[in-house]
Amino acid sequence: MSQLITVHDPRGYPPKVAGKRLAARPETLNGKTLYLVDCLFDNSEVFMDQLKDWFAKNLPAVNTKIIKPRESWVDDADMRAKIEADGSAAILGVGL
C-alpha cells in the first residue's frame, strides 16, 4: 500500500475566463431611474415591492421602476435593452 502510483485527474477542462469591467458609478442616484429587477423567484415580487417602498420613503428623489424578465433563468435581451435605454442603475433579486 506504500507503493507510489500515478493516476489520471478526473476533472474536465475549464474554459478560459475573460475579465469583465464594472460600469462607471454615478455619484448619486438622485434624479435618476433605478430599475428593480424581479428575478421571478417565489416571493421576489414582494421583496421588490418592499424595496420600491423603501426608496419612496427614504430616497424619494430616486425614480424606481420594477421590471421582470419574460422567464426565470433566461437572459431576456429585451428587458436588458429597456434598462439600458432609460435606466441609470439596477438592483437584481432576489436571486438564489
Partner 1 sequence: MALEQAGIPAVAVHTNVFARLAQSTARAAGMPRTRQSFVPQPVVDVSPEHLRGYIEGIDPVSKKPFMQGVIEGLTGPLNDEDLKGMSFERSTPRLLAPATEDDLQQLFMDNYWTDFMPVILPTEERVAAMLKGTSHPPGKVVGRMRPTNFREAWELTVEKVAVNAVMAGCKPEYLPVVLAHAASGISARSSSTTSLAMTTVVNGPIRDEIGMSSGIGAMGPYNHANVTIGRAYNLLSVNGQGGSVPGDTYMGTLGNAYNYSATFAEAEDRSPWQPFHVQQGFKPTDSTVSIFFGGRYTTSGFGPRDTWKEKFVRCITAGDHNQPPLIVMDPLVARLFVEMGFDTKEKLAQWCSENAVMPARDYWDDQWVQTLTLPLAVAGVEPHAAKLKAPPDQLVRMYEPEEIKIVVVGGETQGAFRMIGGRYTKAATISVDAWR
Return residues touching partner 1 (CB under 8 A).
Answer: 1-29, 34, 40-44, 46-47, 49-51, 53-54, 58-59, 68-73, 75, 80, 83-84, 87-96
Which amino acid, 91?
I
Query: Rounded to the nearest whole angstrom, what is the least distance from the CB of residue 31 to partner 1 in the complex?
Result: 13
Backbone φ/ψ region at 43: left (φ over 0), alpha (ψ -120 to 50), beta:
left
Residue 47 belongs to what H/E stretch? helix 44-58
47 versus 63: smaller Cβ distance to partner 1 = 47
Dihedral angle sign, alpha carbons of residues 41, 43, 45, 48: negative
Query: Rounded to the nearest whole angstrom, what is the least distance from the CB of residue 62 to partner 1 in the complex?
Result: 9
Query: Rounded to the nearest whole angstrom, what is the least distance from the CB of residue 15 to partner 1 in the complex?
Result: 5
63 versus 93: smaller Cβ distance to partner 1 = 93
* Contact of 37 with 69, CB cutoff 8 Å: yes
